[in-house]
Amino acid sequence: MPRLTKIYTKSGDTGKTGLVGGRRVSKDTVRLWACGTVDELNSVIGLARAVGVVEPCQRKVAGRKLDAVFAGIQNDLLSLGAELATLQKDFRKNTPRIGSKQVAALEKLIDELNGKLGPLEEFILPAGCGTAGALHLARTICRRAERCCVRLARSGKIGDHVLPYLNRLGDALFVLACWANHIRGIRETYWKKP
């Protein structure tokens, strides 16, 4: 596996970058918007972890388990980025891909946490603790990544599980934001209809 020995290469100075397989493309292509948005999403999830996903119970098994869930999601997002940066003709046997296993894991997480939270009475405002705020921001970025991938799917081939994964991840990030508030004893702020 090659290692980065130099961070800057100057090869992108003209507004082009290389995809996996070597093809050079403009940095403003739909494919690169999708890759960049997935990278942005991964960074915001990292921010949520940095501010303490489960601060009050970090030393407890539940806290470590939830942090491991986020580490898994971040790894999935790197695989997704690699998948999006690879044209169909350049896929190899070991090219990372998102599959049904990752989608099912998100569904299981959503069901588990949602069962503990109970039903929502009304739409909520994205608020609460710092972790919940970062997760709500991640959720909105996830939906943008999903929209980018919908557009990419119209103009090029993407994997069968890319859109279901991003759709479930957006739902999971919402539930996780609610969970972050719940474990801190912070009540959700409900939308007050005019």
Does the residue 36 lie in any domain?
Answer: yes
| Whole-number Cα distances in Å, 24 to 18, 20, 139, 153, 184 | 4, 9, 31, 20, 48
Say which amino acid occupies 91: F
What are the DSSP calls for 67-123, one per residue? Answer: HHHHHHHHHHHHHHHHHHTB-GGG--TT-----HHHHHHHHHHHHHHHHHH---SS-
Domain assignment of residue 135, yes or no: yes
pLDDT along the chain (194 residues), means of 10: 67 67 74 94 92 55 74 96 86 86 96 88 88 94 98 90 98 93 87 86
* 80, part of any domain: yes
Residue 68: CATH number of its domain? 1.20.1200.10
> How buried is residue 106: exposed, middle or buried, by Cβ count under 10 Å (0-12/13-18/19+)?
buried
Query: Are β-strands 24-26 and 16-18 bridged in parallel, bridged antiparallel, or unpaired?
Result: antiparallel
Supply the pLDDT for residue 19.
62
Residue 10 lies in a domain: no
Measured at the CA of 137, the angle between CA 162 and CA 175, to 5 degrees, comes to: 70
Q: Which residue has the tokens 């909520």?
A: 124
62 inside domain: yes
Q: What is the pLDDT at residue 59?
A: 46
C-alpha 140/C-alpha 143 separation (Å) is 5
In a domain, 55, yes or no: yes
Structure tokens at 191: 């939308």
Question: Which pLDDT score is estimated for 58?
Answer: 47
The residue segments making up the domain with residue 132 are 24-183
Bridge partners (DSSP) listed for residue 22: none
Predicted confidence at residue 57, as pLDDT, reads 46
Could you give the number of structural domains in the chain?
1
